[in-house]
Amino acid sequence: MRQAKLEKERHFLKAPADGTILSSTLYQGQYVVPGNEVLIMGDLTQLTVCVEFDEMYAKHLHNACNALGKTKTLGTQEVSLKLSRIDPYIYPKRNLPGIHSGIDSRVLHAYYDIVSDPQGLMPGQELDVFVEKKHKR
């Protein structure tokens, strides 16, 4: 019985948390090489947006920033965003279309939870995000 349980465990993928499978590149009976991305999972109960700020604007970001997200679709939808967390690391920017590779641009990742009704929004959808800047008095 113990051997059968071990054999069963070897043939199943386990996720570190509960979620919904959003994308899969697997088919039944396929052998999976460790380290390959085969599933994309997500928690659909709380949608979060990752916003990239150029490193030169990182110092202007503060914990009380309000933000507004707008969809890029024809019937533009607006959603209110609340800052959830800021990564304490400046990442290399992933995509620089039309710019030569000799330019090094880095970004700060800030994560905003969607607090208004996200009706019609889907995981992986892009939003234009507008962040409120504190004015100096």
**12: pLDDT strictly greater than 80:** no
pLDDT of residue 27: 83
**16: pLDDT strictly greater than 70:** yes
pLDDT of residue 64: 64
**136: pLDDT strictly greater than 70:** no
Q: Under a CB-based contact definition with an 8 Å cutoff, are residues 74 and 98 in contact? A: no
**pLDDT tens-digit profile of 26-48?**
888 788 787 888 888 888 888 88
Helix/strand/coil percentages in the chain, nearest 5:
10, 35, 50
Q: How far is CA 101 from the centre of its chain?
A: 25
Q: At 120, phi and psi to the nearest 5?
A: 90, -10
**137: pLDDT strictly greater than 60:** no
Find all residues with CB under 8 Å of 86, minimum gap 6, and list them. Answer: 61, 63, 108, 109, 110, 111
pLDDT of residue 81: 92
pLDDT of residue 36: 81
What CA–CA distance (Å, rounded) separates 102 from 93? 13
**pLDDT tens-digit profile of 58-117?**
777 776 678 999 988 767 788 999 998 988 888 887 765 555 555 667 888 999 999 887
Q: Can you read off the two tokens belonging to residue 58? A: 């990182």
What CA–CA distance (Å, rounded) separates 98 from 96? 6
pLDDT of residue 111: 92
pLDDT of residue 88: 87
What are the boundaries of each domain within the chain?
2-42, 48-131
